[in-house]
Amino acid sequence: MSLRASVTNRGAILLGKNVACDAFEEGKPLRVVTHAHADHMVGLQKSLRTCEKVLMTRATKDMIEVMRSPLFLMSGIVETMDYGKTIQYDDERITFFRADHILGAAQVLVEDVEAKRIVFTGDFRIEDTPILDSDALIIEATYGNPACKRSFGIDVKTALISLIEKGLKQGTVYVFGYHGKLQEIMEILHKGSVVAPFIAPEKVFHISKVCERHGMKIGRLMLATEIEAKELLEHNLPCIAFFHMESKSKVGLDSFRVCVSGWEFGSAIRQTGIKEYVVALSDHSDFNGLLEYVRHSKPEVVITDNFRVSNGEPLAREIRKRFGISAFALPQRHS
Ligand SMILES: [Zn+2]
């Protein structure tokens, strides 16, 4: 059997004859963007200029237009895909499925001329992601190392809510995270009935509005430049300010600070300063979750994405060892 699936040195996930996901690849007529994180938009301008079509969900398109600019996607033909919708190209069929990661995230299934199923998971969290049957599976490997297991035995969301409520008693709480994750936290706090004004700088604000348009419930959010918001922040009054991780060393230095990160395996909450904490809320599967996907997907061959994080090798090794399935990491890394 010659299944066409690969990951190139530049991070393109190749499925079948025609599809390149998440990075540009010369000669592939279809480019897929599985979601709006930067490491999945590699070479997107080039793809827009040269591919016949660029496929993504409507939510991903809306997110990119806010993150980059409304004009960013206009240099090519973008076709938005609903989950479950199939398009035919040449003699292959391409279908998107939901991935529980950030708003708009998708898994991609390509069925080739022999009806073989080639699947790319994209980034995903096992808890709420449908597992697709596959013949060839390309799986993300962010936490592909056996050390990357989260077994806290407590509900991280509940712990996050209590921590933030504790912080609000002292004044403003700054929450730092990545796009998509910040909005998930807003939703957790809103649903958890945390009563405090939410404040965000411009980009986070507009991404939140996109999330709201696509059905997320985040409650009332103020722009950080509004007078009311400025006053709250200036006087360190109880409110929650959501900033991108890159602002961590620039704002809220003397306030109560919560950083949200997936790279935490020891405990759900870890104190890192007098008023600073890290919360282990991840939008990726841990090691066990990755293996669970493979087990249920029943592929004949697995390729682990070794481009985005270098845990592809250990994951491939464990898959071979535990399931006896042919598995290897791509691209190969030479150290
Ligand atoms: Zn991602």
- In tens, the pLDDT along 59-95 reads 999 999 999 998 999 999 999 999 999 999 999 999 9
Alpha-carbon distance 94 to 313, whole Å? 28
pLDDT, tens digit, 9 for 90 and up, residues 236-265: 999 999 999 999 999 999 999 999 998 888
Å from CA of 134 to ligand 1 middle: 22
Å from CA of 302 to ligand 1 middle: 20
Å from CA of 105 to ligand 1 middle: 8
Is residue 176 over pLDDT 50? yes
State the pLDDT at residue 1: 45
Instruction: Quickly state the pLDDT bin for 3 (edges 50, 70, 90).
Output: low
Å from CA of 257 to ligand 1 middle: 23
Å from CA of 229 to ligand 1 middle: 30
pLDDT, tens digit, 9 for 90 and up, residues 201-232: 999 999 999 999 999 999 999 999 999 999 99
Whole-number mean pLDDT of the chain? 95
Å from CA of 232 to ligand 1 middle: 32
Å from CA of 323 to ligand 1 middle: 27
**19 closest CA partner among 87, 70, 105, 72:** 87
Å from CA of 60 to ligand 1 middle: 12
Å from CA of 14 to ligand 1 middle: 18
pLDDT, tens digit, 9 for 90 and up, residues 153-169: 678 999 999 999 999 99
**Which residues have beta carbons under 5 A from ligand 1 (an ion)?**
37, 123
pLDDT, tens digit, 9 for 90 and up, residues 292-323: 999 999 999 999 999 998 899 999 999 999 99
Q: Are 146 and 287 in contact, with CB atoms under 8 Å apart? A: yes
Å from CA of 56 to ligand 1 middle: 14
Instruction: Please state the rounded mean pLDDT for residues 16-23.
Output: 98
Å from CA of 42 to ligand 1 middle: 12
pTM to 2 decimal places: 0.94
Å from CA of 304 to ligand 1 middle: 15
Å from CA of 6 to ligand 1 middle: 19
